[in-house]
Structure 1
Amino acid sequence: MYFSSILAATALSFLIVSASVIPVPPSRRAEDDAPVMNIDFADPSILEDDEGNWYAFGTTGNGKHIQVAKADCIYGNWSLLDDVDALPQYASWSTGSNTWAPDVHQLSDGSFVMYYSGEVADNPSHHCIGTATSDTITGPYIPEEEPFACNLTVGGAIDASGFEDDDGTRYVVYKVDGNSIGHGGSCGNTVQPIVPTPIMLQEVESDGVTKVGDAVQILDRTEDDGPYVEAPSLIRTEKGMYILFFSSGCYLEPSYNVNYATSMSVSGPYTRAKQPLLRTGEYGLQAPGGATAVHVRDKIGVVYHANCQEGRCMHTSPTDIDGRDVDVVI
């Protein structure tokens, strides 16, 4: 089956035809590349509430275990909610410190589930994925006492992101954190033998937490990725294409980027783009990564972070979907 879908990035646009990628000239103003908040707000995810307000959730910072910001639209003026810590409590398996990459989704019963990467109490050099629930979007979220994914023999697990398919089936994508048991080099995993860092797809029940079957691998690092692939985020276009956003390179270095791969099946195989969607040097961005994609009515929006004076600042913008092509602007 042949169809076309346009992915337009902050720095570059792509035309995807049957999962092949052809560069298209960009069209973007440099002044649009400023962060939406001049604070340290890494690994952001975003969610719209029933009243049209947008909320962003970020990694530990600014005195919060999980930060929350709010705006009236995805590309609007974002404000940190100073009096809100979305995850004030922590599970017994976690230290409660250094909590990464929160991702929040609303369930069919109106409640909310958060996926997060928690530092392991028995071995703080590793993280595992936890889940927490709340009746309100800003929390407080109450953590489950058992981690969702936590196999320390392969390095633990991080960067979980929820996804609901068109038929209502729910999934969680996450990274096996193999570089945490790597043998040195860039981000701990460029000295042989290289440890795998696969991205996994786990089906879950309607509660967003209970697993259905076993997780399946949908992507892994290649030599071009450097130490790892991480920060997966999955979305489905109107044409039935699944787009898996991810980061590669090392987050501590200019090599960090926003990348993506596509498939006509949620479980793959996924075909990688020929080049990253965003990388250092394009439009003044430094080490962009951690992208999360969401549907915004007739649009698709993507939020990500990039290095800034304050740490890692959040960037986001929307784009139109014209019914024939799908534009994604980040």
Structure 2
Amino acid sequence: MLNNFGVCLLFLATCLASPIPWPEPSLNDIAALSLARRSVEGGGLAYPSVIQTSDGKWYAFATRTIGSAIHIQAAQSSDFETWTLVVNADGSQYDALPDVPAWVATGPSTTWAPDVVQVADGTFVMYYSALAASSPTHHCIGVATASNVLGPYTPVGGEAMFCPLDQGGAIDASDFVDNVQRYVVYKVDGNSIGHGGACNNAVAPFVSTPIILQPVAADGITFNGAATTLLDNAGASDQGVVEAPALTKSGSTYILFFSSNCFADGHYTLSYATSTSVTGPYARAAKPLLQTGDNGFDSPGGADVAIDGQHVVFHAAYNGGRAMYQAVINVVGGAFSV
């Protein structure tokens, strides 16, 4: 539980123009009081990422919907509240990543969990997870670039950016900038080589699913230092899974959002941990920020935080799929303590 930290988590269905009049609420307290709204009516936007461009517009990128032939879907908004799916001139759904490199396996459901950022020279960089052709039960992380936010994005190089197949592969890349230093944070997908149960890692011995921080150069692609493990699953209490990392910073405190447990069985959570150093150690909050049952959510998780550290998107199970929701975290003052 966070104490002495004035923060408002205002889900946009009930967003207020003035501060919430409760004294020193915690992230958990506000999550229990507020209700998020589904962003795209009828849209299934799982593991979304969000970016705001210099003209003030917002864009979200997400995993393809079940049965769709595209790789990465996109939505756009002028106000972070009303969203529309991006479509082609003929009304068909737009694919932000129309072509994938040879290392990606062919077939449905090959691409997941994109993250889009703009680097210093104006280039837009997309990180994405995809099934590896050489090991089609495991994912690796690729990278693609474009000159405008919607793309289309073109894959960079002939190899994946992160591909530790002997550890289960890698998924869920996300960008973070601390002053001028860029990082990519991602999950080693150890549960893909687990021993069964929910998401294949709920049966002991539990396989490591570490969240890794990799420094990169200004291009967002070139490695620029040694990687660090920030967090790992705690075994049975996490169903052997932590994933979907997203880093932000409030004052001198680093906040690592992540999801734990299996996304498919109602135990998925949107959780967070904090540290005074970007490389950790990170201390988990006493309870998840959101979990099944909070505000009627089913399996909330997969969050991403915009570069401003305030605008957040995440998904939850909805109508047989997963819908995107949005929220605003407004830091009022104070400091984290666990």
Determine if the alignment matches structure 1 residue 51 to structure 2 residue 51: no
2:316 matched residue in structure 1: 306
Q: Given the alignment, which residue of 104, 117, 123 partners 2:116?
A: 104
Assess, with a 3 A threshold, how the Cα gap between structure 1 residues 49 and 268 changes in structure 2: closer, same or farther.
same
C-alpha contact 2:32 2:294 (8 A) present in aligned 1: no
- What is the CA–CA distance in structure 2 between the aligned matches of 1:318 and 1:325, rounded to whole Å? 18
Structure 2 residue corresponding to 1:293, chosen from 276, 297, 305: 305
2:259 alignment counterpart: 247
Change (3 A) 1:126 1:26: closer
Q: Is the 8 A contact 2:38 2:326 kept in 1?
A: no
Change (3 A) 1:125 1:26: closer
Which runs of structure 2 are paired with 1:54-73 in the superposition (5 Å)?
54-61=58-65, 62-73=68-79
Normalising by structure 2, we get a TM-score of: 0.86
2:267 counterpart SS class: coil
How far 1:110 sits from its partner (Å)? 0.6
**Residue 149 in structure 1 maps to residue 162 in structure 2:** yes
Instruction: Read off the aligned partner of 1:65 and give its amino acid letter.
Output: H
Superposed, 1:131-210 pairs within 5 Å as 131-144=143-156, 145-165=158-178, 167-210=179-222
**After the TM superposition, which segments of 4 or more aligned residues of structure 1 sit over 6 Å from their partners?**
13-16
Distance in 2 (CA, whole Å) between partners of 1:54 and 1:121 is 33
Paired residues, what number?
314
| Counterparts of 1:45 and 1:22, CA distance in 2 | 21
Q: What does residue 6 of structure 1 align with?
A: 7
Inter-partner Cα distance in structure 2 for 1:301 and 1:65? 25
| Residues 7, 331 of structure 2: 8 Å contact kept | no
**Shift in Å at residue 161 of structure 1?**
0.2
Q: Match for 2:134 among 122, 135, 141?
A: 122
Q: Give the match for residue 100 of structure 2.
A: 90
- Deviations, residues 208-231 of structure 1 (Å, cap 9, x unaligned): 000012211010000321121000
**Cα 1:155–1:109, aligned 2, differ >3 Å: closer, same or farther?**
same
* Cα distance, 1:319 vs structure 2: 4.0
CA deviation vs aligned residue, 1:3-46 (integer Å, no higher than 9, x gap): 735363759x9969xxxx8954667454x444444211100000
Return 5+ residue gaps in structure 2 as ranges. 15-21, 89-93
Flag structure 1 segments of 5+ consecutive residues without an equivalent.
none
Distance in 2 of aligned mates of 1:143 and 1:221: 31
Identity of aligned residues (%): 44
Q: Does 1 or 2 have the higher relative contact order (CA < 8 Å, sep 6+)?
A: 2
CA distance in 1, matches of 2:125, 2:28: 37
Residue type at the aligned position of 2:70: K
Alignment partner of 1:283: what SS?
Answer: helix
Query: Separation in 1 of the partners of 2:32 and 2:241?
Result: 30
The one-letter amino acid paired with 1:283 is N
Q: CA deviation at 1:63?
A: 3.5
Q: Please tell me the root mean square deviation across aligned C-alpha atoms, in Å.
A: 2.5
**For residues 7 and 320 of structure 1, do their structure 2 counterparts lie closer, same or farther at Cα, with a shift above 3 Å needed?**
closer
TM-score (norm 1): 0.88
Residue 276 of structure 1 corresponds to 288
Is the 8 Å Cα contact of residues 176 and 307 (structure 2) preserved in structure 1?
A: no
Cα deviation code 1:273-321 (max 9, x no counterpart): 000000001111000010111244xx71110000011510000022434
